[in-house]
Amino acid sequence: MKPRHTALAVLVAAIWGVNFVAIELGLRDFPPLLFSGLRFLVAAVPALFLVGPPRVAWKWVVAVGLVLGVAKFGFVFSGMHAGMPAGLSSLVLQSQVVFTVVFAAVLLRERPRRAQLVGIGVASAGILVIALDYGVGSPLGAFLLVIAGAACWGLSNVVTRHARPPDALSFIVWVSAVAVLPLFGLSLLVEGPEADLAALRGFDWTGAASLGFVAWISTLLGFGLWGFLLREYDAGTVAPFSLLVPVVGMLSAWVFLGEELTVLRCTAGLLVIAGMAGTAIRQRDPVRPHADEPVPAASTAGPA
């Protein structure tokens, strides 16, 4: 990989890691479902005029929009709003790699490799350590919401892999557009119009900066650069850079939010990252993989 492209890959991982801090700050001003809906609205509306049609069947756009945009982000934002720390959320959410492998085996009949099975076991051990550590004196429901978000992300990865959109940025813009109205509807039903109106009336520069970061920097810029790298290099080359996301997420939450980094949490983080790396290992091939070959699960990683 060329040095400037390596720098771009590291930049994307850094953006997606810091994104969890931006989400945490935004959730102080907005209810979680409303914030998620606003994120997609701000990301999709201007971009729809700049990108072409998704170039895949609309059923896949709608499916990913509901599973990834509505379910995954709804669960994750709700979990963080309920008390799941930003740094741990960035780590636990990467268990999507495990769910991707499992769903691919069940739905696409992709047989997991031995390295993937070992990686799943190691990552699961790390998640269990986090659950035991976090569950002491903390709301376990918040942790489970983030896990549910990771499961939805894994399912959306499999659907996206099956759809094979030729333009990643165009696809994510249209997926964002699909998620807007369902999230606003759920916000009105679950969080209530009074809470939504109060949040909008109290809109300040902190909320605006958080919303702008998660919508434009993390979603549009992050996915745009990631899609460019995947067009230039095979997924096995690009995917390992996603392992930096939880590292940056936990460090940035420690620096900017004062979240505690205990030895136990760092150990659990190493287990999760090592397990994720195991699922991305593939046998070297002298030629670039064909379009119909599966890619490592980590290559589908993206922002929260």
Q: Which residue in 285, 177, 301, 179 sits closest to 234, CA to CA?
A: 285
The average pLDDT across 77-86 equals 94
Asked, for residue 289, whether it belongs to a domain, the answer is no
Range of the domain at 187: 3-282+294-300
Is it the case that residue 224 has pLDDT exceeding 90? Answer: no
Asked, for residue 287, whether it belongs to a domain, the answer is no
What's the pLDDT tens digit per position in 37-48?
999 999 998 888
Alpha-carbon distances, residue 8 vs 4, 11, 52, 206, 225 (angstroms): 6, 5, 24, 27, 7
Is it the case that residue 288 has pLDDT exceeding 50? Answer: no
The average pLDDT across 266-270 equals 86
What is d(CA 214, CA 220) in angstroms, rounded to the nearest whole number?
9
Q: Which long-range contacts (CB under 8 A, 24 or more apart) does 23-26 make?
A: 23/77, 23/80, 23/86, 23/89, 23/210, 23/214, 23/304, 24/80, 24/85, 24/86, 24/253, 24/257, 25/206, 25/209, 25/210, 26/207, 26/210, 26/211, 26/214
CB 137 within 8 A of CB 68: no
Write out the two tokens for 104.
Answer: 């691919």
Asked, for residue 288, whether it belongs to a domain, the answer is no
Q: Note the pTM of the prediction, 2 decimals.
A: 0.87
Structural domains counted in the chain: 1
The whole-number pLDDT of residue 287 equals 45
What's the pLDDT tens digit per position in 18-70?
999 999 999 999 999 999 999 999 999 888 888 888 889 999 999 999 999 99
